[in-house]
Amino acid sequence: MATATHCCENEEKIAHILEAAQKRFGLYGLGKTTMQEIASDLGTSKGSLYYYFPDKGHLFRAVVEKEQSLFLSFVEDKIRELTDAEMMLKAYVKIRQTYFRTFLNLSRFRLEDIREIKPLMEETWADFEKKEKVIIRKIFSKGIRDGIFSISELERTVSLFLHLMKGLHHRKTKNKGIFYLEPEEYASLIKDDNLFTEIFIKGLKYK
């Protein structure tokens, strides 16, 4: 065990590793990043990384999970400030847009990379989806409670909303080998997101 004065060293070290890994993975993807490079960036040795992470895949996963939880807590915070379900949903969509642009740097994660370690990541993606659904469900439930939304199948509607949004983003980014959008393509995606949200919200409202 570490002494009292060094109680945070371990976590700090891990945080540093995650930071360095995130930079490399974010820029070059999983396949084009070596453990050696990450170690060199940190001025440490490769073997050291294996003291903290069992393998490259788990390091990658840790980076992704860190970004996911950053996104989730950011959304939670923003939503807590709001009182109106409609506003909440719009805020959620907006933050999600930003998240995919800046936080996770998904624009740089290559498609292949994500498939490469599919078995390991599957649980992570599923878990993230669950957590996103919790948020959306909360928003929809509030809307129902407040008498502005009329939703007969809550679970299916939550799932549908998320799938529609994911699908919308996916369609725009596929067909290219990598996740990357030209500025005007991105702007168009935002517009689509907003129009979608507007129509969907209106579609949920009481008449």
Partner DNA sequence: GTTTTGACTATTTTGTTCTAAAAGTCAAAA
Partner DNA sequence: TTTTGACTTTTAGAACAAAATAGTCAAAAC
Taking CB within 5 to 8 Å according to partner kind, which of its own copies, DNA, none is near residue 51? DNA
Taking CB within 5 to 8 Å according to partner kind, which of its own copies, DNA, none is near residue 74? none
The reply on whether position 36 binds DNA by CB under 7 A is yes
The reply on whether position 64 binds DNA by CB under 7 A is no
Q: How many CA atoms lie within 13 A of 186 on its CB side?
A: 12
The CA distance from 28 to 21, in Å, is 10
159: buried, middle or exposed (CB in 10 Å: 19+, 13-18, 0-12)? middle
Among 167, 178, 180, 185, contact with its own copies (rule: CB under 8 A): 167
Taking CB within 5 to 8 Å according to partner kind, which of DNA, its own copies, none is near residue 1? DNA
Among 18, 20, 25, 56, contact with DNA (rule: CB under 7 A): 56
Residue with structure tokens 């439930």? 141
Q: Are 41 and 20 in contact (CB under 8 A)?
A: yes
Among 7, 8, 15, 45, contact with DNA (rule: CB under 7 A): 45
Stretch of residues binding DNA (CB under 7 A), selected from 5-13, 88-96, 118-126, 135-143: 5-13
The CA distance from 126 to 132, in Å, is 10
Stretch of residues binding DNA (CB under 7 A), selected from 47-55, 61-69, 88-96, 169-177: 47-55
Closest CA to 195 of 165, 154, 152: 165
Q: Smallest distance, Å, CB 56 to DNA?
A: 3
Nearer to DNA, 46 or 171 (CB): 46
The reply on whether position 4 binds DNA by CB under 7 A is no
DSSP 103-146: IS-TTTSBHHHHHHTHHHHHHHHHHHHHHHHHHHHHHHHHHHHT
The CA distance from 140 to 160, in Å, is 12
Stretch of residues binding its own copies (CB under 8 A), selected from 79-87, 126-134, 149-157, 179-187: 149-157
Binding site for its own copies (CB under 8 A): 153, 156-157, 159-160, 163-164, 166-168, 170-171, 191-192, 195-196, 198-204, 207
